[in-house]
Amino acid sequence: MGGAKVSQIGLQDAIDATDVIGRCDWDIPNDRAFSDPTVALLFGVDPALAKVGTPLARFMSGMHSEDRDPTHRLIERCAKAGRSYLAEYRVCSADGNLRWVLARGRFALSQTGAPLRGSGILIDVTQKWFDQADHASAAVLHSDHPLERAAEHCLAAHKAINELPRSVLHLLSDALLLEVGSQLAKLEGDQRRARMN
C-alpha cells in the first residue's frame, strides 16, 4: 500500500477518534505556518513541510474556494488588530473528503504594533453540518461565555509555556487547549441549534 493511501487512512482514523484535529502556529513576519501532521493532511499539505513551516497560502489553498476569501479577510483583520478569532470553513482534505472545521486562535503583536504570531486549534465539526452544506461560513463569533474566556487564557498560557524547556507542562497545555476547543465546538453547536429554533 502506498504512503499516500496510508496517510489518508491515518487521517480518517485520527479525525474519527476525536473531533479535535490539532494545533497550528503562524510566524507572520516570515510567513511560515506550522501544524500537527493531522492538520497538515486535512489541508492537503505535506506533514514534513508543515513541520518546518510553509507559507500560509499553502494551507489556505486547501480550503473550499467559497470559504477561502472570507476566511483570509477574517484572519488578516484579526492579525492586524492582535485579537482572537473564531471561524468555520470547509476544507478539501488529503483523503478526498470535504470537512467543516472550527478554528479558534489568537494573534500577538510586536512592540511596534505589527502582527507577529498566530496560534490556534482546529476542531472537526463536519457532523454538525452534514445536512447544511450550503451554510455561509467564516463568521466571527462574539461571546462572553466562560469557555471563550478560558480559551483566551489557555492560548496565552500555551504561548508562555512554549518558551520554557520541554516538559510535562507542554503536554498538559496541549491537552487543555484541545479539550477547551472541543467544548467550544459543542457550545457553538448548541448555540446554533438554539438560534435555529
What digits encode the pLDDT tens for the residues 179-193?
777 777 777 766 666
Q: What is the pTM of this model?
A: 0.60
Nearest-angstrom CA–CA distance, 192 and 197: 9
Mean pLDDT over 92-101 rounds to: 79
SS (H, E, C) 122-144: EEECHHHHCCCCCCCCCCCCCCC
**Cell matching residue 176:** 487543555
Structure confidence at residue 137 as a pLDDT band (50, 70, 90): very low
Percent of all residues in the chain with a pLDDT value above 70, rounded to a whole number: 76
Phi (first) and psi of residue 46, to 5 degrees: -60, 125
Nearest-angstrom CA–CA distance, 104 and 174: 14
